[in-house]
Amino acid sequence: MTKADLADKLYEKIGLPKKEAAAIVETLFESMKSILADGESIKITGFGTFLVRKKGSRRGRNPKTGSELEIEQRRVVTFKPSLQFKDVVEKV
């Protein structure tokens, strides 16, 4: 599913004009990116939580050459689904 598909769903369910629906979807994702880039988490009740975690540096291996290298620490976004969301997905 793409952003355009989400905007179409808003158009179908709520009846918003397609341009407004697309703008809402775009604004939502831009806001989420900004919040996560600041290191904050996003909790959506009934859906799940987006968290920013720090992964420490570690030793790795280049699969092509086999040489060892140091993978630097970084921040990653993780998603933890809520129990209600898990139940809906498992029932389908």
The mean per-residue pLDDT over the stretch 26-40 comes to 96
CA distances from 33 to 1, 23, 86 (A): 18, 15, 24
Model confidence at 33, pLDDT cuts 50, 70, 90, reads: very high
pTM for the whole thing?
A: 0.79
Model confidence at 91, pLDDT cuts 50, 70, 90, reads: confident
